[in-house]
Amino acid sequence: MSLVIFGTSQTPVHTEYLHTDCPVCNSSQHAEVMVYSEYVHVYYIPFFPVGKDAFTVCSQCGFKKTTPLTRGFCSAHSLDYRKYRHPMRTFSGLLTIGGLIGLTILVYQLD
């Protein structure tokens, strides 16, 4: 029997400051929005991204809220959705396997 270590993890993508209303303290302050890319990993090697989350922190009271980063969230807060792309390193497992398959095909084509 073998042990396979897999799961999901997150990596930071971008940090932005927004002027928004806090639902807890009702202040109209700047809030820090940190965008994270969530990805699937096998043996701690990232294979492919599965989503993005926006982690918002109020600068006045410290209220924290996590929401999925969608086009609707970005348009409601005047953010550019295209700016928050998944980092290339979250595809490294797929790129490695694709490269090995391509190399194997190339080697057998040369024979």
Considering the domain boundaries, does residue 1 fall inside one?
A: no
pLDDT in tens, the chain (111 residues): 677 788 999 999 999 888 888 878 887 878 888 999 999 999 889 999 999 999 988 888 888 989 898 888 888 878 888 888 999 999 999 999 999 999 999 999 887
Considering the domain boundaries, does residue 25 fall inside one?
A: yes
| pTM metric for this prediction | 0.77
Considering the domain boundaries, does residue 91 fall inside one?
A: yes
Considering the domain boundaries, does residue 35 fall inside one?
A: yes
Handedness of CA 31, 37, 41, 45 (dihedral sign): negative
Reported as a single tens digit per residue, the pLDDT across 30-59 is 888 899 999 999 988 999 999 999 998 888
Considering the domain boundaries, does residue 47 fall inside one?
A: yes
Domain span holding position 51: 6-110
Query: Nearest to residue 91, comparing CAs of 39, 21, 13?
Result: 39
Structural domain total, the chain: 1
Q: Count CB atoms within 10 A of the CB of residue 44.
A: 9
Considering the domain boundaries, does residue 19 fall inside one?
A: yes
